[in-house]
């Protein structure tokens, strides 16, 4: 595997880290790999390290090419800067799909909290719509989005028949992003006939990431099944994309 950091916007400190696994040779059954673009949370104030490389490792272990995008935050958070960053990163991945051995028909986006808002925008209003999205304790409805930007997209209202399939996970007692964000989003997906899978855990704090002691000091205090979202999301992607990942 090789890792490469690419500066997308020096002024706004936007970076894309590409983790590229080999194909061919000893991986003779794999010509190209599906890809996951990781959008960390952080309330559009910063990009959380806990929702960057620890998440990348989950999907690298499942055979994906993985890209971690550190998008515009803090003084550069003005909408649409983050969405423009995502679209720039997506187009770069498409342009380099041959070199990076990416199957361009099997690209997923995963986002957490505010990054979940950005991933939700990718699924609904972006010109660079992925083939699937995974949303972790996401900011989605107008009331919660307004805490971060009154100009940013209301993802719940943006759902339509062209929204891509979604995997959503959250906790019932999240004190930062109310569970209504997820419930309202599910209602909108159902209304438009969009495929989804959802897991709402009984007890976990906001920002639980992979929900184990490597990233959470209080991992033992949360619902013991919370960490299952990682294996469940991988299995879901394999159902959506097909397996094995032979590529084209």
Which pLDDT score is estimated for 39? Answer: 99
Tell whether 22 is covered by a domain: yes
Contact 36, 52 (CB under 8 A): no
In the chain, what's the furthest Cα-to-Cα distance?
A: 51
**Which pTM was predicted?**
0.97
Which pLDDT score is estimated for 248? Answer: 46
Tell whether 162 is covered by a domain: yes
Q: Give me the domain span that covers residue 207.
A: 2-241
Tell whether 99 is covered by a domain: yes
Which pLDDT score is estimated for 146? Answer: 97
Tell whether 165 is covered by a domain: yes
Alpha carbons within 13 angstroms on the beta-carbon side of residue 186 total 15
Tell whether 248 is covered by a domain: no
Tell me the DSSP string of 214-239. Answer: TT-TTGGGS-TTTTHHHHHHHHHHHH
Tell whether 247 is covered by a domain: no
3-state helix, strand, coil in the chain (%, to 5): 30, 25, 45
Tell whether 246 is covered by a domain: no
Into how many domains does the chain fold? 1
Total length of the chain = 248
Cα 105 to Cα 17, 140, 192, 201, 244: the distances in Å are 21, 26, 23, 31, 14
Give me 21's structure tokens.
């696994």
Which of 5, 27, 21, 30 minimizes the C-alpha distance to 66?
A: 21
Task: Return d(Cα 5, Cα 17) in angstroms, integer.
Answer: 4
64 CB neighbour count, 10 Å cutoff:
25
The residue with tokens 């006939």 is 193
Q: What is the CATH number of the domain that holds 179?
A: 3.40.50.1820
pLDDT tens digits for the chain (248 residues)? Answer: 999 999 999 999 999 999 999 999 998 889 999 999 999 999 999 999 999 999 999 999 999 999 999 999 999 999 999 999 999 999 999 999 999 999 999 999 999 999 999 999 999 999 999 999 999 999 999 999 999 999 999 999 999 999 999 999 999 999 999 999 999 999 999 999 999 999 999 999 999 999 998 888 777 789 999 999 999 999 999 999 987 655 44
Task: Return d(Cα 184, Cα 201) in angstroms, integer.
Answer: 16
């Amino acid at each position: 595997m090789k890792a490469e950091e690419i500066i997308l916007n020096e002024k706004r400190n936007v970076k894309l880290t590409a983790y590229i696994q080999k194909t061919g040779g000893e991986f003779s059954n794999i010509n190209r790999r599906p890809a996951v673009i990781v959008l960390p949370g952080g309330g559009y104030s910063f990009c959380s390290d806990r929702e960057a490389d620890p998440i990348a490792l989950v999907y690298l272990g499942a055979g994906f090419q993985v890209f971690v995008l550190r998008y515009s935050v803090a003084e550069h958070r003005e909408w649409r800067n983050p969405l423009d960053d995502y679209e720039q990163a997506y187009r770069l991945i498409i342009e380099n799909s041959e070199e990076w051995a990416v199957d361009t028909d099997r690209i997923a986006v995963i986002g957490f909290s505010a990054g979940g808002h950005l991933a939700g925008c990718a699924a609904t209003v972006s010109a660079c719509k992925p083939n699937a999205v995974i949303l972790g304790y996401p900011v989605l409805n107008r009331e919660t989005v307004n805490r971060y930007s009154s100009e940013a997209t209301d993802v719940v209202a943006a759902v339509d028949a062209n929204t891509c399939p979604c995997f959503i996970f959250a906790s019932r007692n999240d004190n930062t992003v109310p569970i209504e964000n997820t419930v309202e989003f599910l209602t909108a997906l159902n209304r438009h006939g969009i495929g989804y899978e959802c897991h709402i855990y009984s007890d976990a704090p906001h920002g639980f990431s992979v929900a184990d002691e490597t990233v959470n000091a209080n991992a033992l205090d949360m619902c013991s099944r919370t960490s299952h979202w990682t294996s469940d999301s991988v299995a879901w992607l394999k159902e959506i994309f097909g397996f094995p990942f032979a590529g084209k």
